[in-house]
Structures are given as C-alpha cells and as structure tokens.
Amino acid sequence: MIEAQGLVKRFRDKKRGEVRAVDQVSFRCRPGEIFGLLGANGAGKTTTLRMLATILTPSEGTATVAGYDVRKEPQKVRSCVGFLSTATALYGRLSAQEMVEYFGRLHGLDERTLRLRIDASFERLEMNDFRDRRCDKLSTGMKQKVSIARTLVHDPSVMIFDEPTVGLDVMAARTIIGFIRECRDRGKTVIFSTHVMSEVEKVCDHIGIIHDGRLLAEGTLAELRQRSGKQDLEDIFVEVVEQ
Amino acid sequence: MSLRGIGVVYRKELIDSLRDRRTLFSMIAVPLLLMPVLTIGLLVVLIRQVGQASEEVPKVMVLGGADSPKVRAELEKLEGVEIVAQKPDYAEEISSKQIRAAVEIPAGFDAKLAAGEPMSVKIYMYEGELKSGFGADRLQKFFRDVRDRAIRERLEARQLPENLIRPFDIKQQNVAPPEKVGGAILGGLVPYFVILLSLTGAMYPAMDLTAGEKERGTIETILCSPVSRTHLVLGKFLMVLTASVATALLSIISMTVSFGVGKKMLQGVAHGAADTVLQITLTAKAVISVFVMVLPLAVLFSAALLAIALFAKSFKEAQSYISPLMIVVVLPAVAAVLPGVELSTTLALVPVLNTSLVSKEIMTGTYHWNYIALIFASSCIYAAVAIAIAVKLFQREDVLFRT
C-alpha cells in the first residue's frame, strides 16, 4: 500500500527562486493495483516517485509505503520497494549476475537465499546466456532484464516505475509493460509514471493526472471518462490540464 | 543495516575499480614504471654527464706570458688540459664552448715572481657550466702550486720554517652516518614522490565513484537500495583510500628496489658524484616510518577528493575541480625540499608541508617524537574533518542531484 498525504517538494532555483516541484499531492495505491501517474515532462512525476522511494525527502507532508513512513523510516521503505526507471542505470564493469548479487547483498539477503532468487529470476527472464557478461556489453533489452532482476531480488511488496519505457524500442518496452502487469498479478502495489497515454490505458487501474506539481484529477479510467464526458484519454488529459 | 553495508559497497567498488584500466594505470603502472625511470634513469644520466665532463681534456687559452717563458713552458707541460692558440675573442670562445677557460698571465710574470712583486693571475670561465668549471679548476690548481712553490723557496732562502705562514692545518671530517648523507639528498625527494603519488592514486577512483556514477546514471540506482548514505560514502571512501595507499606503498617499494639497482649499476662507474650516491642508504625503518606518516595524509586526500568530486555533475567537471588541488599539494611538498625550511610548531600544523618536513627528518635518521606525534595527530584530525564533510555532502540532495 502507498498512501501519499499532502506531499510538497520545494527547490531553490537561481533564476526562478523557490520552485514547488510537487504541491500538496495526495493519493492512495492499493496492493494488486496499478496506479498511473500521468503528466507532461516537468509536471512533478519523477520528484513524487523519488519522494516515495526516499531518494528525496519531502519538504512538507509525508507518505507511508508498505506501512513505513518515508520521513521516519526511509531505510525500511527502501527495503520494501523496487524502483525502476530509465535513470537507474547498471554498473557497466559488473556482470549481470554480479549486478543482481550486489543489490541482493545490500538488501541483506543471505547467500543461500540470494543464490535461489538469482537462479529463479535468471531462469524466468531467460538471462542465463549472458549472466557472466559485463553489463556494458549487453543490448538494451538485456539491460532491461538485468534491471528487472535487480528490482525483484529482494521480493519487494511495492514497485515504483518512473517512465520505464522512455527511449526503449517496441520489444524492450513490451517486456517492461508485461513485467508491470505481472507485478500487479502477484499482488504487489504498483505505481507507474508516464506521459504515454496508450500505456496508461493498457495497464493502469487508477490514474492520477499531475500538472505543475499538483494532482488535478484522480480515478479509474471509467470514472475520468464519466466526469469529463470524453472517451479519449488524451482529450481528458488536455481538458484537465487546461482547466 | 549494520556495518555489513560498508563491506558490501567496498567489495563491489574494489571489483569494479580493478576492472577499470584507468584506475589500474594510476594505481599500479605509474608507481611501478615512474619510480625506476626517475631513480635509475636520472642517476645514470647525472653520472654520465659528470663522468663525461671529468674525462674530457678541457681546451684552455693562455693570454699573454710571452715575456715569461718559464711559466709558459710549465703550462705547456700541464697534463689534463690542452693549450690552444691565443685569440682576442677568448670570452666569446668560452661562451660558445669552443674552449672551456682562459688564463691571463700578467706582463713580466717570471721576473716579478723572482723579484717578489705583487701581481694577480686572472682565470676566465663560464659560471655554472660544469666542463668550464673543470678547466678553470685545473688552471687554478696549477697556479696555486706555482705560488706555493714560490713561497717555499722564499722561506728556504731566508731559512725560515714553512709553518711560519701556516701555523696550523684545517681538516674537515664528516661524522654523519651514510643514511644521513643520503637523507640530506633524498630526504625531501622520497616523501615528495610518495605524497604526490598517494594523491594521484586516489584521484581517478574518487572521480569515478562519485561524478562518474552521476554521469553514468548509477547514482539513482544505488540510492534506492536500503544502504544508508553514510555507509555508502564510507564504502566508497575505503576504496579510494585503498587506491591511495596501494599507490603510495607500490611507489615506496618501487623506489627502494630501483635505488638498490641504481646503486649496483653505479658501482662500476663510480667517480665524483657517484661516490656520494653510493654512500646513500635507504633504511627499512626510515621507509616504513615515512609510509606510516603518509597514511593519515592518504585518508585526508581520499576524503577530500571524494567530497570535491561528488560536487561535480560530470567526470569532466570533477577533473577541472581536482586539477588545481595538485598545485595545492605540490607547493607545500616542494617547499619542504627547499634548503632552510625547518620543522617548527606552526609548520607542524600545516597539512602536507608538515608530513613532508617530518619525513625529510626521518630520512636523515632524526626522529623528533614530539613533532611526529603532533603531525600525526593533526593529520588525523584533518582527515576526520574531511571524512565528515564527505559524509555530510552525501546527505545533501542538492549535491547528489545537482543539475
């Protein structure tokens, strides 16, 4: 479960002075559900997700992730979260297996459990052919698989995906979308940010439209359609943002 | 997570760095290649230069003396110099190295010498030019011998004892043990290289582990793991320190071995300067002591480099921040090599300079325990402050996500 309550993030900017990148954002995401955070570039999606993953500390408000407060227990939050974005790169000089092992050890897994988890995920993701190959020698699709194995190694109950398909080709993007669905089916709490309308329509159970740091609308796709009287998500998005 | 996190981060950074060619080059190749080249190469060049200069028969010009056949004849017979024909542009000849020196014999030299009249002999040479110095030395020795002989003859003629004009002799005797003689020469140089290499060894990993991570996008990956930022920075710091200490250690080993080899090579060709070099002994005690003194400095360098490099957005930016640091370190290290700069309580508190100075003393076999304790303690405090700053910076979002 993720519960954000009045999240605010302020930054100091030399030119613009104080900037509220995220402004009073509240929402709830339940286990077995995909919450889609939809917004244009610079809307505040990444900052919101970084606060949920405790990479950034909120300026105001708070959130509970898997029952832990992001302000008070950030390390416990991180141990329950799998975070994947195009910005979370791999260590090029480590092999695929070493990369996953490293994160397993950081999560405090004992060697036996780590071995079992790695063997299982490498088998399922068909990674055994390149498990000893250095990450900088892998193709984009292979790298995505390593990233997925890295986020799953500690079996997190909450998954956070920050624009995970940006810059990926169709096949790699399909792998990621499939993986997001699989996480929901396994009962995980999933939050997913994107600016691609079709991805939201395909996988999200709940949608939040974020613009200028504020969450302007929230609901299921059906609820949003009903409220706006429009069928196309892009039209709904434009209407909400322009209001 | 317990301290285990530091170990996990350290182990990964060690594996990662040992696979990086640039880190391996600065950590292993530089000390192992640079030291033999500097130590053996420079010694060989120096000895060869001195040897060639002392073996050359210098061409010297005799100006005047046509009315003094006796002294001219003796000069012609002088071994170790070649007398060339007199020319008016003798100064130009010396400058252009056609001849090495010239001597001007005053008019009526033989007659005046016999009559006991005062006169002066002028020797022309090119100051600072080794071969010119050798030529001038031989001429000076010749005329000193002529003068001494004249004095003896005059005293004998008056039946006076020789000690009338030389009531006592002055003899200079060296009491310094060989390591002190060596230390005086190498005392500043050894710590200078060790300090410099402990800095350069830490430079590349410090940039790679901070700004490099930002550039490659792995910083966000590691920040979303449950390892605390303090443990993360300490794990990275230990890796940078490992590189720094490994570079310092390898440079010390390489320098000691190179020096031993250099000495053996020189034993066959010992002359002049080589004799001095052959007396130099690098004792194990001095070398280990220098290494121990450099340790807190390596900690200071590692933490400072880590903090500075973390501030940068990219590897390139980190390089531009860190390059000026070389000057900050080189200047005090060089200052310690200069003659006359001695340890004092104030200088014992100046980082880098204090370690250079005390290492210089240690190399000459002198152990000022009060200064050693003060310098070690102050260096440890500076190092601790630098680590605290690095840890603090790792907590700051505006530094980690600087755009």
pLDDT in tens, A193-210: 998 888 898 899 999 999
Shortest Cα–Cα distance, A224 to chain B (Å): 32
ipTM of the complex model: 0.89
* Order of strands, sheet of A206-211, starting from the edge strand that comes earlier in the sequence: A81-85, A158-162, A189-194, A33-38, A206-211, A214-219
Q: Does B52 touch chain A (CB under 8 A)?
A: no
Tell me which chain A residue has its CA closest to the CA of residue B212: A91
Nearest Cα neighbor of B146 from B138, B107, B102 is B138
Residue B269 pLDDT greater than 70, yes or no = no
Rounded to whole angstroms, the Cα distance separating A126 from A179 reads 13
Question: Is the pLDDT reported for residue B33 higher than 70?
Answer: yes
CATH 3.30.1360.70, applies to B58-164: no
Does B220 sit within 8 Å of A88, measured CB to CB? yes
Selected residue with higher pLDDT from B218 and B402: B218
Alpha carbon of B131: minimum distance to chain A alpha carbons (Å): 57
Q: Which of A56, A16, A51 is nearest to A37 (CA)?
A: A51
**Segment B67-114, tens digit of pLDDT:** 999 988 888 888 888 988 888 888 999 999 889 999 999 999 999 988
Average pLDDT over residues B348-373: 86
Closest C-alpha to B47, from B127, B120, B130 = B130
Q: Is B110 exposed, middle or buried (0-12, 13-18, 19+ CB in 10 A)?
A: middle
B114 within 8 A of B146, measured Cβ to Cβ: no
| Closest chain B residue to A162, measured at CA | B220
Q: Distance from B240 to chain A by nearest Cα, in Å?
A: 17
- String of b and e for B343-378 (b: at least 16 CB within 10 Å)? beeebbbbbbbbbbbbbbbbbbbeeeeebbebbbeb
Q: Is the pLDDT of residue A191 over 80?
A: yes
Tell me the three-class secondary structure of B41-96, residue by residue: HHHHHHHHHHHHHHHCCCEEEEEECCCCHHHHHHHHHCCCCEEECCCCCHHHHHHC
Q: pLDDT at position A165, please?
A: 86
Q: CB distance B12–A55 less than 8 Å?
A: no
pLDDT digits (tens, 9 = 90+) for B48-73: 777 777 778 889 999 988 899 998 88
Q: A15 pLDDT exceeds 90?
A: no
pTM of the predicted structure, to 2 decimals: 0.80
Residue A87: pLDDT band with limits 50, 70, 90: confident
CB contact under 8 A, B19 and A87: no
CA-to-CA distance for B263 and A139, rounded, in angstroms?
55
How many helices (H) and strands (E) are present in chain B, helices listed first?
A: 19, 4
A contact test, residue of B1, B221, B239 with most A CBs within 10 A = B221
CA-based nearest distance B237→chain A, Å: 17
3-state secondary structure of A215: strand
* Domain definitions of chain A by residue range: 2-242
| Residue B281 pLDDT class (50, 70, 90 cuts) | low
Average pLDDT score, chain A: 92
- Interchain proximity A92–B227, CB inside 8 Å: no
Helix (H, G, I), strand (E, B) or coil at A88: coil
What pLDDT sits at residue B12?
96
B284-301 pLDDT, tens digit per residue, is: 788 888 888 889 999 999
B361 backbone φψ class: left, alpha, beta (φ>0; ψ -120 to 50) = alpha
> Residue A10: its pLDDT value, please?
92
Answer yes or no: do B226 and A79 touch at CB < 8 A: yes
Contacts B228 to A, Cβ<8 Å: 75
User: What is the predicted pLDDT for the residue at B266?
Assistant: 67
Q: pLDDT class for B403, splitting at 50, 70, 90?
A: low
Neighbours of B29 (CB within 10 A): 12
Region of residue A44 (left: phi > 0; alpha: psi -120 to 50; beta: else) = left
From the list A56, A94, A150, the residue facing B397 with the nearest CB is A56
CB A93 within 8 A of CB A137: no
> How crowded is the C-beta side of A142, counted as CA atoms within 13 Å?
18
Rg (CA), chain B: 31
Q: Residues of chain B with pLDDT > 90: what percent? A: 30
CB-CB under 8 Å, A12 with B218? no
Tokens linked to B155: 């005293």
If you compute the radius of gyration of chain A from its CA atoms, what whole number of angstroms results? 18
Strand blocks (E) in B271-397? none
Assess whether pLDDT exceeds 90 at residue B46: no
Residue B272 pLDDT > 70, yes or no?
no
The answer, yes or no, to whether residue B268 has pLDDT greater than 70, is no
Domain boundaries, chain B: 4-51+179-400, 58-164
DSSP 3-state assignment of B155?
helix
| Helix/strand/coil for A92 | coil
CA–CA separation, B237 and B229 (whole Å): 12
What are the distances in angstroms from CA A34 to CA A154, A159, B148? Answer: 20, 9, 109
| Range among A70-79, A227-236, B19-28 with highest mean pLDDT value | A70-79
The kind and range of the H/E element at B383 are helix B369-395
Q: What is the mean pLDDT of residues B153-164?
A: 86
Chain-chain contact of B9 with A106 (C-beta, under 8 angstroms): yes
Q: Where are the alpha helices (DSSP H) in B61-188?
A: 69-77, 90-95, 109-115, 130-157, 178-186
- The pLDDT mean for chain B works out to 85
**Which residue stretches of chain A are H helix?**
45-52, 74-80, 96-106, 111-124, 140-152, 170-185, 197-203, 221-228, 233-242
Quickly state the pLDDT bin for A171 (edges 50, 70, 90). confident
Instruction: Sheet containing A60-65: give its strands across.
Output: A17-29, A2-13, A60-65, A68-69
Do the Cβ atoms of B320 and B222 come closer than 8 Å?
no
Q: A-contacting residues of B 358-397, CB under 8 Å?
A: 397
Cα–Cα distance measured from residue A96 to residue A100, given in angstroms and rounded to the nearest whole number: 7
Q: How many helices (H) and strands (E) does chain A have?
A: 9, 10
Q: Scanning every residue of chain B, which has its alpha carbon at the shortest distance from the alpha carbon of A154?
A: B225
* CA B29, chain centre distance (Å): 21
Model confidence at A157: pLDDT above 90: yes
B21 in reach of chain A (CB within 8 A): no
- Asked whether residue A143 carries a pLDDT value surpassing 60, the answer given is yes
B356 pLDDT exceeds 90?
A: no
* Contacts A11 to B, Cβ<8 Å: 398
What is the distance between the alpha carbons of residues A174 and A178, in angstroms, rounded to a whole number? Answer: 6
Instruction: Give the closest-approach CA distance of B227 to chain A in angstroms.
Output: 6
User: So what's the pLDDT on residue B181?
Assistant: 58
Superfamily of domain A2-242: P-loop containing nucleotide triphosphate hydrolases (3.40.50.300)
Cα A45 to Cα A39: distance, rounded to the nearest angstrom:
7
- Label residue B192 by pLDDT band (50, 70, 90): confident
Taking an 8 Å cut-off on Cβ atoms, the answer to whether B216 and A12 are in contact is no
**Residue reference for tokens 């903090």:** B307
When mean pLDDT is compared across A10-24, A170-184, B185-199, B289-303, the lowest value belongs to: B185-199
Confidence class of residue B37 from pLDDT cuts 50, 70 and 90?
A: confident
Q: What is the pLDDT of residue A141?
A: 84
Residue in B12, B217, B228 nearest the CB of A75: B228
The CA distance from B22 to B241, in Å, is 16
Task: Kindly give the residue spans of alpha helices, DSSP state H, lying in B312-368.
Answer: 315-337, 353-363
- What confidence tier does B176 reach under pLDDT thresholds 50, 70, 90? low
More confident residue, A146 or B131: A146
| Token pair for B147 | 């003068």
